[in-house]
């Protein structure tokens, strides 16, 4: 009878993978990941049959964590601008609180090792958060540009803002607001 898998070991492997992917990219070896998790490389392959399985699971888990932060309840009576500002602040807060995951996610998003199925699964998980941003931009941004603003500008500008806040924490509030203002004004039709 096979021994049940340990959730602690699985979590340690994902955490080690996140750290190493954030710092070394998706080329980080499974031997280094296993060592950082405190397990043998064979144990890693007990939990994840291939390195690609590990990377795809990491991608999905980071996106699920981000999605959970983005989908906490929002006030129903907020104006589109105020609602988008709340979305922005949650995105910035998540990035500041999960620096390693954010860096790993950036590596994984451009990796050809992440499958279309994993990308599609994550897109579905974030569909409701995306819909909130689309509603906020409706009537504000040119309809043919909304996808570009969400898929590229919002996340890249948030990344720049997070890096600026991390380097100048005392100016964090002003930097956060400046980033949002740039997005809001820049997306106006």
pLDDT digits 0-9 by tens, 13-45: 999 999 999 999 999 999 999 999 999 999 999
What pLDDT is stored for residue 29 in this prediction? 97
Distance between CA atoms of 185 and 189, rounded to whole angstroms?
Answer: 9
Average of per-residue pLDDT across 61-88: 95
Distance between CA atoms of 80 and 58, rounded to whole angstroms?
Answer: 33
Contact partners, residue 22, CB within 8 Å, separation at least 6: 100, 101, 102, 103, 104, 107
Distance between CA atoms of 4 and 60, rounded to whole angstroms?
Answer: 23
Distance between CA atoms of 49 and 43, rounded to whole angstroms?
Answer: 10
Architecture label for domain 50-186: Orthogonal Bundle (1.10)
Distance between CA atoms of 41 and 34, rounded to whole angstroms?
Answer: 5
Given a cut of 80, whether residue 1 has pLDDT beyond it is: no
| Helix residue ranges per DSSP H, the chain | 7-24, 30-37, 41-47, 51-70, 80-97, 99-109, 116-125, 127-137, 146-148, 155-167, 172-186
| Of 155, 67, 154, 158, residue with least CA distance to 109 | 155
- Quickly state the pLDDT bin for 180 (edges 50, 70, 90): very high
Task: Encode pLDDT of 92-137 as tens digits.
Answer: 999 999 999 999 999 999 999 999 999 999 999 999 999 999 999 9
- Quickly state the pLDDT bin for 189 (edges 50, 70, 90): confident
What pLDDT is stored for residue 85 in this prediction? 97
Distance between CA atoms of 153 and 72, rounded to whole angstroms?
Answer: 22
Given a cut of 90, whether residue 65 has pLDDT beyond it is: yes
Over the chain, what is the mean pLDDT?
95
Domain boundaries along the sequence of the chain: 50-186
> Both ends of the chain: CA-CA distance in Å?
63
Above pLDDT 90, what percent of the chain?
A: 94
Average of per-residue pLDDT across 70-97: 95
> The whole model's pTM is what?
0.91
């Amino acid at each position: 009878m096979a021994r049940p898998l340990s959730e602690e070991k699985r979590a340690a492997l994902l955490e080690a993978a996140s750290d190493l992917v954030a710092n070394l990219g998706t080329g980080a070896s499974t031997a280094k990941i296993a060592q950082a998790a405190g397990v043998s490389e064979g144990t890693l392959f007990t939990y994840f049959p291939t390195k690609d399985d590990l990377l795809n699971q990491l991608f999905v888990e980071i996106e699920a964590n981000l999605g959970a932060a983005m989908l906490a309840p929002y006030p129903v009576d907020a104006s589109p601008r105020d609602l988008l500002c709340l979305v922005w602040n949650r995105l910035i807060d998540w990035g500041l609180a999960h620096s390693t995951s954010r860096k790993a996610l950036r590596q994984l998003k451009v990796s050809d090792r992440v499958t279309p199925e994993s990308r599609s699964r994550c897109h579905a998980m974030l569909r409701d958060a995306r819909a909130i941003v689309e509603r906020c931009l409706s009537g504000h941004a040119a309809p043919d540009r909304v996808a570009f603003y969400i898929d590229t500008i919002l996340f890249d500008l948030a990344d720049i803002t997070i890096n600026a806040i991390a380097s100048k924490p005392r100016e964090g509030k002003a930097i956060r607001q400046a980033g949002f203002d740039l997005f809001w004004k820049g997306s106006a039709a």
